[in-house]
A and B are shown apart, each in its own frame.
Chain A
Amino acid sequence: MGAATVQAQIGTGSSVSWANAESGGVFNREDSLAGTTPTPIPTTTGTDFSWIKNFVLAVTVTGTTAITNRRINMSGASATGMQLFWKALAVASYAQAASGNKPTDSGSNGATPAGYTLMTTSTAQYDNTSHVTSASGPNGTMAVCVEGIDNTYVGGASTSATTPSLVVSYDEA
C-alpha cells in the first residue's frame, strides 16, 4: 500500500459532494468549480467578492502513511486589482457556496474580507494536523478561498480573466 493517492477536490452542493478540482477552477458566483457567472467588477471604488470555494486534500487510494503541513499558494502574481484569499475551516463546518455566505463586498479597493488571509506566491500553512491516509475522503481541514476584484482591475469579466493557478502542497510520511 505505502503512499496514498491524494487529489485536490472541491466541495459543492447542499449535502457536500467532493469532486476533482485539479482540472482548474474559475472564481465565480456559482456553487461550482468553473461556472461562468462572473464576479462583477466594481464601477466605482470598491471590492466585489466571489462566492466561496471549498477546497480540500482528499485520499482517493488509501495508504499506510500520514499527511501533515497542508499549504496553499498562488503559482504566480495576480493581475492588478485581483486578489485571492483563504481561510482554514473544518470539513464538519462545510457550507454550500451561496450569495449569503460570500464575504460582504467592500467600498474600498484592495479590501481583505474578515477572517481571510491574502494569498501570495509564498506558501501558507493552513493545516498542520497529522491524519493517516488509511481512510479515503477529505484529509484535514478545508482551505476556503475567495477572489476579490476591485475597481482598478482592467481586464474583462473575471471569469474570462487569468486567475493565478492555485498550488496545494502537503507532507506525506
Chain B
Amino acid sequence: MQDIYTWRVIYQDETYTDEFDETRPDGRGFAELEDKPIIGIELHDFLKAVASVAFPHKEDVQPVFFRRRYIALTGIGERSTVHCIGWKWEESACYLFVFADGSSLMTDDLQAV
C-alpha cells in the first residue's frame, strides 16, 4: 500500500530514522525505532518535510505516529487515510493530524478525527 506521506524520526544526537531508506526499501514499522532520545518527528512527501512536531525537553516522551485508515462499506471501495504525528508524556499529548488535502489539525484528543 502506497501512502502519500512517510515518517522521519529525529534523535537528539542529530541522526534520524526514515520509514523508507536504502536499507529498508520495504518500509519500517514504527516500533522499529532506535532506543535513544527523540527530539522530533516529521512527515515527508516525495520531496520534502510537509509537517513536523518538536518534542518537549522531558524524559520518557513517547513518539506517536500512525495512519488512521477509513473503509466505507459502500460497494465502491471508498477509503481514506489521515496521518498523525506527535508525542505523549504522562498525561499530556500533542497530535498533529494531516489530511490528504494538506490541511491539518493539532489537538490533544486522540479520537478527534
Contact = CB atoms under 8 A, between A and B. Distances in A.
Interface string B57-79: 00000000111111111110100
B73 to A, nearest CB: 5
Contacts, number: 90
Contacts of A7: 71
A172 B67 contact: yes
Contacts of B110: 69
Contacts of A169: 68-71
Nearest to A73: B70
B3 interface: yes
A1 interface: yes
Contacts of B30: 65, 173
Contact of B29 (A23, A75, A167, A173): A173
A1 B20 CA distance: 10
Interface residues of A, number: 35
Given A3-B67, A170-B68, A66 B29 contact: yes
A64 B28 contact: yes
A63 B1 CA distance: 9
A66 B31 contact: yes
A41 B66 CA distance: 43
Nearest to B111: A123
A23 B29 CA distance: 30
A3 to B, nearest CB: 4
Nearest to B68: A171
A63 B29 contact: yes
B29 A125 contact: no
A80 B8 CA distance: 48
Interface of B: 1, 3, 19-20, 26-32, 65-75, 77, 84, 110-111
